[in-house]
Structure formats: C-alpha cells, structure tokens
Amino acid sequence: MNVLLVEDEAKIASFVCKGLEAAGFSITVSDDGNQALELATTGSFDVILLDIMLPGRDGLSILKELRERRNTVPVILITARSEINQRVEGLELGADDYITKPFFMDELIARVKAVVRRTTGETLSVLHSGKLKINLITRRAQYGDEEIIFAPREFSLLEHLMRSPGKIFTRDQLLEQVWGYGFDPHTNLVEVCIRRIREKIRYDTCIETVRGVGYRFNKNEI
C-alpha cells in the first residue's frame, strides 16, 4: 500500500514512517504544502495522511483542491486537539477520517486500513498479484488453482515483499523486518528463503534481485 505522509514536524514524520514501514507500507513524505499537492495530483497513492498546519499551502486547501479536481484518494487528517473547527471543515470538504496528536501507531494503522476498505471495497486480508493469491488470515497461498505450501518464514517474507511491489528492500532490511535480526554479514537466511519461494512459485523473476542493492517483488512477472 502506497501512503503519502504530509507532515512538517520531523519527529512525528519519522515516528509515522517507521511504524508504517514496519507494517509493510510504502511511504512518501512531504513537509511542504505546495510540494504535497503536486505529489498528490501526479503520484499514485492508496491513502494520504495530511497535517492541517503546513508551510506553503495548508492541509485544508490541499484537500479542497483535490476534491475540486475530483481526486477521490482517501485522506486522513492529522490534527491537534485544539483544531476542532478545522476537523469539522475538513470532513465537510471530503476528508475520510481524522486522527488527533498524539496518537498510537496501532490506531493510525487501523484507521488507514479501515479507510481503504471503505473506499475501495477490498479486503486487506488477501494479497493478489496475477494468478498468485495469499491469504493473510489463513496463511494459505494459491497460484491459479494450485495451493502452494510455504514455510512460515517464507510466507512472511513473501507477504512483506508483496505489500510493496516494486520497492527495493536491502538484505539487512529484510533480516530486521522479517526475522527481527540486526546486521549479520555471515548469514544467508534471506538468500535461501528467496530461492525457496522462487522454486515454489516456479517463476524465477517474481522476486527480482537488484544487483548490489537488494530485492523487490516484480508484480508484472506473475
């Protein structure tokens, strides 16, 4: 899931980025209202997390412009507790939800998923890519009509990559985010796990090796 985070407070932006990336989301960050509007109108995002008070254009003017252009991307406003009138105005302008500072990361993730479910009608418990489908609740995978049996860590790695198709993850990021390990130059866990996934899906290029950088899920190859 691709998220545009528009937030000019560096500490909050860093906190949100780390939490969403750990949950498997792909994040683009902007700390300026003018830049954020350009990104929102030219990029492809599943949801926008939009602070109200920003340098350049404020969040409500960005929201108003998006809705006037008939851009229906889901928007969650990030507000201060004192911004009651702005929250009401934001909802009237077409915001899908709001969350007030300070907030817990689990609550924000739940709100993001709920908004996307409401606006797209899709369930986030199943990931699709061509003939490949994985169910995050039952932990079962299918390629066409054939069930594929993945070991728990193989499934977790595939899920992590499928959540952000096209995004490159380094070996160390995958070790930390999937296995919970820190840097270890001697382990080949990632390489072995990816090889097994490729063998089971029977498409060598579904997980692409980006030489000297890392790995990414290649959605077009499934």
What pLDDT score does 148 carry?
94
Residue numbers of the chain with a pLDDT score lower than 70: 120-125, 182-185, 203-205, 219-222
CATH H-level, domain 2-120: superfamily: Response regulator (3.40.50.2300)
For 36-52, the pLDDT digits (tens) are 999 999 888 989 999 99
Kindly report the CATH class assigned to 154-221: mainly alpha
For 48-92, the pLDDT digits (tens) are 999 999 999 999 999 999 999 989 899 999 988 777 788 889 999
3-class DSSP state for residue 158? helix
- Could you state, in order of their start, the residue ranges of all structural domains in the chain? 2-120, 154-221
CA torsion through residues 39, 40, 41, 46, sign: positive
Q: Which of 31, 28, 10, 42 is nearest to 167 (CA)?
A: 28
- Indicate the pTM of the whole model: 0.57
What pLDDT score does 93 carry?
93
Q: Residue 47 is encoded by which pair of tokens? A: 């949801």
